[in-house]
Amino acid sequence: MARKSRLLLFVQLLLGPALVRCSCPLPLVLNTWPFKNATEAAWRTLASGGSALDAVETGCAQCESEQCDGTVGFGGSPDELGETTLDAMIMDGTTMNVGAVGDLRRIKNAIGVARRVLEHTTHTLLAGESATKFAESMGFVNEDLSTEASRALHSDWRAGNCQPNYWRNVVPDASKYCGPYKPPGISKQDRSAYGETGANYGHDTIGMVVIHKMGRTAAGTSTNGIKFKIHGRIGDSPIPGAGAYADDTAGAAAATGDGDILMRFLPSYQAVEYMRSGESPTTACRKVISRIHKYFPEFFGAVICANVTGSYGKSKVEATGSAQTEFQDITATRPSRCRVRRRKDAVDNKGAACAAVRKCGQSEEQAGPFPC
């Protein structure tokens, strides 16, 4: 669920205290990876009066529609049978209700289906064909999630003797051959042509955290999983407390990375609990990542955290094992005219700086919809 070669985090902090400390740090929209359009879609929802839950759904849906980085939405990350399946989750930090889908097939709007699970059932997670049938009953269209690009990707993988894959302790040797696979001693399988192991394919998931101006929280995720996963695999993204977690009494968090490892530690839940106990968001994120790295030194992933006051933090670990909490590629987006005035005013009067942002935000044509 994360990419080894680059594990970027994109943060669009809307009037948050990291750059300006004033009496109006909220609302806040925070998400993993440089999926700016998703962040802005979530913000527009808040600006038009939508709830934190609405914002998370809209932001993640934007990524699904755009097929962000090929790792969210349809047409990406085919499994070993060539099918694209989706995982998604949305959580309301006010009610602690959750809706999630795993291994969702032939339905493009996974986060929308997750929202329907939250609103129209007493369940938390639906999976596989049953999740698809539920989605159809909710009015979602059943359609093929594969594209020419995903079919070509799968074809190339097969031609490379199915490398890499996620099997172990099976016959034939999964590091050299395609399946089908079985445990040793069950039966012998015909072997396909020999091939070298390919590079390890990583993955990006959108994890989004929203803190409403009234302090209400929500979090969500959406992903098409890891490339060439075993058919039926579900990662951490739809698991509450693993992919994301929100609680109005403390804050919210979301994770991205190796989902099969992440779900064993419930990092999003743990980060929120650290913040509840008084840790800063950055410290909470760092402690979560450090704990995972202790058991799995080759783990790669990241966690983003925000508390209900609007402070945020983040921590990641690369495949090399080097943990980081500061990134050059973090982006804080503000209307440029507001940014200049805020910096000038903040020198003498933090309250004036906040007022300047509020005044600037009144003009959407010049400054964009960024009310204080």
CA neighbor of 301 nearest in space, from 314, 325, 287, 317: 317
Beta bridge partner(s), residue 240? 244
Strands 97-105 vs 125-127: parallel, antiparallel or unpaired: parallel
CB count in 10 Å sphere of residue 147: 16
Burial of residue 348, with CB atoms counted within 10 A of its CB: 0-12 exposed, 13-18 middle, 19 or more buried: exposed
* Spatial strand order in the sheet of 244-247: 244-247, 251-257, 301-307, 312-317, 323-324
Both tokens assigned to 309: 């006051």
Q: Is 205 a catalytic residue?
A: yes
- Give SS3 for 276: helix
Q: Do residues 205 and 253 touch, judged by C-beta distance below 8 A?
A: no
Q: Do residues 250 and 308 touch, judged by C-beta distance below 8 A?
A: yes
Rg of the chain over Cα atoms, rounded to whole angstroms, equals: 21
Q: Do residues 103 and 255 touch, judged by C-beta distance below 8 A?
A: no
Q: Do residues 107 and 127 touch, judged by C-beta distance below 8 A?
A: no
Secondary structure letter of residue 250 according to DSSP: T
CA neighbor of 353 nearest in space, from 345, 365, 361: 345
Element (H, E) at 12: none
Q: How many whole angstroms separate alpha carbon 15 and alpha carbon 321? A: 33
Catalytic residue among 32, 39, 94, 205: 205
CA neighbor of 218 nearest in space, from 102, 97, 123: 97
Active site members: 205
